[in-house]
Structure 1
Amino acid sequence: MQLDILALLNAERAARRAAILITDLDGGDQRVVREAEIAADPLGDMLAQRLASGRSGLAEVEGRPLFLTVQAPPVRLVIVGAVHISQALSPMASALDLAVTVIDPRTAFATPERFPGISLVPEWPDEALGGAVPVLDRYCAVAALTHDPKIDDPALAAALRAECFYVGALGSRKTHAARVARLGAAGFSPEAIARIAAPIGLDIGAISPPEIAVAILGQIVAALRTPRGGTPA
């Protein structure tokens, strides 16, 4: 591998940006396509599907064998609210290799006993997301689960600004309508607000906290594995 290509891949990795290394197996030529360049690339559709799957592998284009090496940042899940649903969701998400952080200023709820092995941040989201929690980006999912606008709204606002790949919020349609009004008054466009999955989770008739956690995690995985503007890989 040429040093300039290695340097480019390292720079993208350090910045938590995805990239795909394309290697021509016949001639050995290599090039890097950064995520922001995929849509304009001649292999754009194929690269978008490959990135969404997160898997490297062989491909053939016009009879030429290629190897596509996918480099994507580790996915993070920030859960806002140390509630019963969060207790069920955290270990499920960890089992899928998501890096889980739970934020809740209510220290009676955000305890190691209730969340063993999970990164806990007992701060208000606007404070936590400004320093204690790694910076949000498009490889982060945010699930707001407290029902308390003072806690949920700042986290949702930060997630929308960061263009997180998934933003979800617990609550009824009536609750969400009030949330939409608040976010609109805060300057968010209808298109941005529409990115919030609310009521959160897939519609599977979930009732118990573990069932709701399954619905949320299924929705997160679907969002992660769907190319922008495409269908699930």
Structure 2
Amino acid sequence: MRLELLQRLNEARAAREAAIVLTDLASGGQDLLLERQVEAHIEREALETLLRNGRSGSVELGGTALFAGVYLPPVKLVCIGAVHISQALAPMARLVGLDVTIVDPREAFATTERFQGVDLRAEWPDVALPEIGLDRWSAFCALTHDPKIDDPGLHAALRAGCFYIGALGSRKTHGRRVERLTEAGFAADEIARIHAPIGLPIGAQSPSEIALSILSEITAVRRLKPQPR
């Protein structure tokens, strides 16, 4: 790889931006595409599939045989609420390669005994989240049922453009949440990005089953082609 190309790739990594290095299998020529360049590319659909899958391999673009090296930032999972669901969700998420952080200002819940080996922040979301750094490669879950704790986190997740945002609660609870977010200045299409009730509808009952439904929904949003909601 040319030094100039390697420098650009390292800059993308430092900025947590996905990149694809395309190598012409016939000539050996290389080019680097940043995630923000994909939307305007003539082969947008094929390139977006590569980013969703996150796997390098041989592809054909515009009749040219290429090897696509896909470089994705580590995916973060940030959960607001050191609750039973997040206790089950954290180890599951780590098994599939997510970097997990739990945020909860309630020190009785946010204990290292309950969350061993997890990045745990016993702070309010508006204090912890700027340091954690939400972005396009972050999944966010609001799990406390307490608007004083969940809502500031939801505000930050919506503004950061997290690829997945989920919130615990019934449809009635979410209706009140929508009213609060609307009053806070968020548009209807922004609020519609929130998955609520959180998780895939698998009939989950226990905290572990709910955690499984949440992780499944995060995976589906991350890997599958977006569908109208």
| Misfit runs of 4+, over 4 Å | 227-230
> TM-score, length-normalised on structure 1?
0.95
Tell me the residue number matched to 1:210: 208
Distance in 1 of aligned mates of 2:106 and 2:63: 60
* TM-score normalised over the length of structure 2: 0.96
Aligned length: 228
Alpha-carbon separation, structure 2, partners of 1:114 and 1:13: 33
Alignment of 1:178-197 (within 5 A): 178-197=176-195
Cα separation, 1, equivalents of 2:136 and 2:222: 10
Code of the residue aligned with 1:39 in structure 2: it is: E
Residue 130 and residue 62 in structure 1: after superposition, are their counterparts in 2 closer, same or farther (change >3 A)? closer
Per the TM alignment, residue 46 of structure 1 is displaced from its structure 2 partner at its CA by 1.0
Indicate whether 1:57 and 2:44 are aligned: no
Query: 1:157-172 alignment to 2 at 5 Å?
Result: 157-172=155-170
Q: Classify the secondary structure of the residue corresponding to 2:120.
A: strand
CA distance in 2, matches of 1:107, 1:174: 29
- 2:38 paired with 1:38: yes
Distance (Å, rounded) in 2 between the aligned partners of 1:5 and 1:37: 15
SS of alignment partner, residue 66 of structure 1: strand
Deviations 1:121-149 (A, max 9, x none): 00010111133xx2100100000000000
Structure 1's unaligned 5+ residue stretches are none
Distance 1:52 1:149 in 2: 32
Instruction: Give the match for residue 139 of structure 2.
Output: 141
Structure 1 residues 62, 186: CA separation in 2 closer, same or farther (over 3 Å shift)? Answer: closer
RMSD over aligned CA atoms reads: 1.3
Q: Deviation of residue 226 (structure 1)?
A: 2.7
1:13 aligns with 2:13: yes
Distance across 2 between alignment mates of 1:26 and 1:10: 26
Paired residue type of 2:5: I
Q: Residue 106 in 1 paired to residue 74 in 2?
A: no
Cα 1:97–1:223 shift into 2, 3 Å: same
Deviation at 1:45, TM superposition (A): 1.1
Q: What secondary structure sits across from 1:69 in the alignment?
A: strand
Give the 5 Å matches for 1:51-90. 51-61=51-61, 63-90=63-90
1:223 maps to what in 2? 221
